[in-house]
Structure 1
Amino acid sequence: MKQKFSASWKGSRQVRKQRKYLVNAPINVRKLMSANLSKSLRKEHGKRNVPIRKGDEAKVMVGEFKKKTGKINIIDFKNKRVAIEGIQRKKKDGAKLNVWFNPSNLQIQVLNLDDKKRLEMIKRKATQQQIKNTEKKKPEKK
């Protein structure tokens, strides 16, 4: 692979190029670290998914720990993984290990809104989305 990263890869429909974009994306591309919102939060904020933050309460949707919830306590941007408080594995010697989840397998139940800028961003993006949806629904006059 000659080029490290290009934003144009994101526009491709080819799965191999989408995977390439995910794997080679720089750490500052935080949109990739987003999770779906619960139905109540979707209605409240008018958005389907939001970038994950430490302190959000999330529910595991897939795998061995399905339906377990907890606060997000560690986010690994480099490996695109999230650890949830209270969900751990025991090693043979008795030590506990964090279980790492892909954010796409989580659903945010409670948002951490301590940061005012985050709330403003969510509202701004939701209004932009509503404007796009209303433009699409308008019938064309002939």
Structure 2
Amino acid sequence: MKPTKMRNKMIYRASYQTKSKQLGSALSKDLHKKYGKRSVRVIEGDSVTILRGEFKGVDGKVAEVSTDKSSVAI
């Protein structure tokens, strides 16, 4: 089986705990220095900046986090 197919299969069959870990986001340089971590899980109320895609540069707060869909609403 191709590695990409295996990876997609693992993502699709992932447990809620694993899916939750996949909803992480990189921290800003200030927060990285303060907490000593590069990324943390996103929760409701977090302030975020979109860095890629159609909405690049948009700032906002996280309104909803869905582990079922592996998505974050801002």
Give the TM-score range, shorter chain: 0.7 to 0.9
Partner of 1:75: helix, strand, or coil? strand
Count how many residue pairs are aligned between Structure 1 and Structure 2: 71
4+ residue runs over 3 A deviation:
none
Greater radius of gyration (CA): 1
Equivalent residue for 1:57? 47
SS in structure 2 of the partner of residue 21 of structure 1: helix
Alpha-carbon distance in 1 for matches of 2:65, 2:38: 21
Letter in 1 for 2:50: V
Greater helix share, structure number: 1
Measure how far apart 1:49 and its partner are.
Answer: 0.6
**1:6 alignment counterpart:** none
Q: Secondary structure at the match of 1:70?
A: strand
> What's the CA shift for 1:19?
2.5
Question: Does 1 or 2 have the higher relative contact order (CA < 8 Å, sep 6+)?
Answer: 2
Asked whether the 8 Å contact 1:22–1:32 carries over to 2, the reply is no
What secondary structure does 1:17 align onto? helix
RMSD: 1.3
Shift of residue 60, structure 1, vs aligned partner: 0.4
- Give unpaired runs (5+ residues) of structure 2: none
State percent identity of aligned pairs.
32
Report the Cα offset of residue 75 of structure 1.
0.8
Partner of 1:67: 57
TM-score (norm. length: structure 2): 0.84
Identify unmatched segments of 5+ residues in structure 1: 1-13, 85-142
After superposition, where does 1:1-142 map in structure 2 within 5 Å?
A: 14-29=3-18, 30-84=20-74
